[in-house]
Structure 1
Amino acid sequence: MAHDRSDAALGGDDIPLHIESKPGPMRKALMYELFVLGELMDGPHYGYLLRDILGRLLGPFRHISWGVLYPLIRHLEREGLIVLDEKTGTGPGESSQGNQPRKQYRITENGRRRFLALMLETGDYTADYPELFLIKLNNIDHLTREQQLLILWHYREYLQVEQKYLQEGQRNISEGTHIVPEDQRARVLDIIAFRLSGIQAEIAWIARKIAHLESE
């Protein structure tokens, strides 16, 4: 996905860079909001295409239902973050249903400011933070070099917290300070080793990305 780095000019002093931390369902809604705004940063989109794009981004087992997507689009429209594009009409390869053409949306200046605020918001670490990071990574070229580094540093810290937790558990089980039934110990240690291998691979990837940005 090609992005225009000139969008980094959005980072003015009047933009709120902190979004109040929200509980699980509300934080998920903010994640989907960031996804929609991020896709519209690349240009107008038909609403029905956004669901397919999110599926390709997060994988085959993560879907956003129409019952979530369309109310979200209407909410963003009411808030003045997106507007119906003047070129709304039949989508590529699709025919309109009766007199109801497919709706195409574009982002507003307020939407761009909201996008940047969501991109730079850190908040609390949650179980779905890796999915949020994927959405941020998908839109990271809209940011300045310094802003990109902030996002990468924050995710690296998340991974390091996970890594430390697993390593401590691994050590405690191996030393016998954490009680695990003898017949389960090898299996639990295998699971920890498996999870650590994935985290270490991600940390290495993040380190390479950070080094590349810092060398520019």
Structure 2
Amino acid sequence: MCAMYELLVLSLLMRWPIYAYLIATIANDILGPWEKISRGTLSALLTRLEKAKLVAPGDPEQVPFPSTRPSRVFVITPVGRERFYQLMMDTSSNQGTYQRIFRIKALGLEFLSPEDQLYLVDHYIQYCQTGARYQRAEAQKMSTRPEERDSVSPFFLKTALSLMGLVAQEWQLELEWAQHLREQVLLLGYPSGKQQTEQKPSSSR
């Protein structure tokens, strides 16, 4: 969760210098409606990022939004940009919540090279395919294996199978969205139609 919040804050600061309270407002609009970053959590995160020299105090004159209250302004530093890149290209951490993390990554893809964008989207397509295959396989196993089917009540079996089907459909929708996102990356990042046949994280910005 901490990495997701850190990525979200840094991705916002990649766009503009911004007031602290607006970071909370925009972040909560993205995360909502039920999950919210509390003021205490955001304050602690910004303090940690500032101590690590990932963000720094900014000039209110550079903020593109009018202020409605007194608040500190933050800007991302060169070190913060490197950290943003590191978080964006990390595909091995937080696998259980990676779906939510990737949706934040998708909003920041434009700050990466076309090669890195394609690498991340292709990885996420495989992630979605794995999720869909797993749900279908588990449903097949539960419905065909007597030791699993006969050990539960008919109500539980029917409900579990319908739930697995629902989750598989959700993964399929997510997969279709990711495939559409890939088309956007190819269209905007490779206007000549040329692309590398093998994509991997680049070693430089």
TM-score bucket (shorter structure): 0.7 to 0.9
Residue 211 of structure 1 is aligned with which of 176, 183, 194?
A: 183
- 2:96 counterpart SS class: coil
Deviation at 1:201, TM superposition (A): 0.9
- Choose the corresponding residue for 2:35, options 42, 52, 62: 62
**Equivalent AA in structure 2 for residue 150 of structure 1:** Y
The answer on 1:53 being equivalent to 2:20 is no
Distance of aligned partners of 1:68 and 1:182 in 2 relative to their CA distance in 1, 3 Å threshold: same
SS of match in other structure, 1:64: coil
Q: Which residue of structure 2 lines up, in the alignment, with residue 201 of structure 1?
A: 173
What fraction of aligned residue pairs are identical, expressed as a percent?
28
- Aligned residue pairs: how many? 184
User: Measured at CA, do residues 178 and 94 of structure 1 come closer, stay the same or move farther in structure 2, by a change above 3 Å?
Assistant: farther
> What's 1:133 paired with?
102
Taking CA–CA contacts closer than 8 Å with sequence separation of 6 or more, which of the two structures ends up with the larger relative contact order?
1
Q: Tell whether 2:138 aligns with 1:169.
A: yes
Q: Per-residue deviation at 1:113?
A: 1.1
1:80 aligns with 2:49: no
Match of 2:84 among 115, 130, 139: 115
Residue 30 (structure 1) aligned with residue 3 (structure 2)? yes
**Two-structure CA RMSD over aligned residues (Å):** 2.1
Structure 2 unaligned runs (5+)? 191-205
1:51–1:69 Cα contact (<8 Å) kept: yes
**Secondary structure in 2 aligned to 1:61?**
coil
Which AA in structure 2 matches 1:139? G
Quick one: distance in 2 between partners of 1:110 and 1:173?
Answer: 50
**Counterpart residue identity of residue 117, structure 1:** Q
Q: Is the 8 A contact 1:40 1:105 kept in 2?
A: yes
**Which residue does 1:41 correspond to in 2?**
14
Structure 2 CA distance for aligned equivalents of residues 106 and 125 of structure 1: 27
1:92 corresponds to: 66
Paired residue secondary structure (1:128): helix
Pair 1:131–1:74, CA change in 2 (3 A): same
- Provide TM-score, normalisation by structure 1: 0.78
Retained in 1: the 8 A contact 2:17–2:62?
no
Is 1:104 aligned to residue 73 of structure 2? Answer: yes
When structure 1 is superposed on structure 2, of 57-66 and 83-92 the one drifting more is 83-92
